[in-house]
Amino acid sequence: MTTPSSARRDIAAEITAKILTQLEAGVLPWRKPWDGARVGLNLPLRSTGAPYRGVNTIMLWCAAIDRGYASPYWLTLKQANALGAFVRKGERGEIVVYYGQSAKTRFDEHGAEVEDRFRFLKHYVAFNADQIEGLPESFHPVPTAPTLIPMADHEAWFAKLEIQRIRTGDMACYIPSKDAIGMPPIGAFDTVEDYAATLNHECVHATMAPHRVGRDMAKKFDKHAHAAEELVAEIGASILGAHLNLPPSHIEDHAAYIGHWMKLLADDKRAFLAAAAQAQTAVDWLLAKSPPPAHSPEMKASIDVAA
């Protein structure tokens, strides 16, 4: 439960400050788990086994890598206690956020009853299973080396999206006027996995089309719209990669975008949360349209949890 004192914390600003610190160091935090040890990489999981979503995925990934946690599970103190377990003394948890919606009723100048709806941001603290004593062994799965999705499986997954793909020279891009993804030939990439991961990135961009998600970052971010959209695609490619067992690797160096992202976040403390939420919505659409192929035990498990 959020206490009156903690309610005064500006959680959005705290998250933004953490992201800015990493960007200043040249680190892309949504790629961080892929840049570290690949063994045992999973989406962060709730006590029920359901994956965390949006910005929580990124923040818990980063915390796990920074502190060396092997378990993908994150629980609240109450959830741990309910299982007969306890958080070790001195352990520090991670902030997990969620958006809610509420309404207030008021009377306008004519005496008519009007309902004003608004969104709010709340937070709680979660601890990794590695910080908790007495949990069942199922909360400590043995880390295994992930199996990269075969190219044939990824092509089959992409085909079900019904998004047009055309050949381009040396640039991967989504072309709104054609509603098509432009991709260089596979030979232009170091590996076939790089090709597939780049295609994932462009698939997230393609969800901006009105007949898909219908995303327009210019409505909220104006002059930073391009940077915001690229941030959505970057975060989305990381989350999608975790579902498809592919790292978010691209043919072009996105380091040039870091300055633009820093300006975006400096201008709007909720920009990262908004981008992560839009990225999750895009991934939800893609996976609903074409569920990931169950070619490996790890992927089959993630599908079962999502179902």
The 10s digit of each residue's pLDDT in 14-56 is: 999 999 999 999 889 998 888 765 545 689 999 999 999 999 9
Per-residue confidence (pLDDT) for residue 75, from 0 to 100 = 98
| Contact residues for 173 (Cβ-Cβ < 8 A; gap 6+) | 181, 182, 202, 205
Looking at the structure of the chain, the number of domains it has is 2
Residues 127 and 163 in one domain: no
**Both 82 and 185 in a single domain?**
no
Structural domain including 163 reads 151-306
Q: Give the separation between CA 241 and CA 196, rounded to whole angstroms.
A: 10
CA distance 172 to 169: 8
Whether 231 is covered by a domain: the verdict is yes
Q: For residue range 222-278, what is the model confidence (pLDDT) as tens digits?
A: 999 999 999 999 999 999 999 998 888 766 566 778 999 999 999 999 999 999 999
* pLDDT over threshold 70, residue 305: no
Per-residue pLDDT tens digits for 157-180 = 999 999 999 999 889 999 999 999
Tell me the pLDDT tens digit for each residue of 59-85.
Answer: 999 999 999 999 999 999 999 999 999
Indicate the residue among 96, 116, 139 that finishes a domain.
Answer: 139
* 242 and 43 Cβ atoms separated by less than 8 Å: yes
Residue (of 240, 218, 213, 241) closest to 229 by Cα position: 218
pTM of the model: 0.87
pLDDT at 302 over 70: no
Would you state the pLDDT for residue 100? 67
Judgement on whether residues 19 and 52 belong to the same structural domain of the protein: yes
Tell me what pLDDT residue 1 has: 47
Q: Calculate what percentage of the chain has a pLDDT beyond 70.
A: 87
**Do 218 and 120 belong together in one domain?**
no
> 135 and 34 share a domain?
yes
Whether residues 104 and 177 fall in one domain: no
The model's pLDDT over 188-206, given as tens digits with 9 standing for 90+, comes to: 999 999 999 999 999 999 9
pLDDT reading at 107 higher than 90 = no
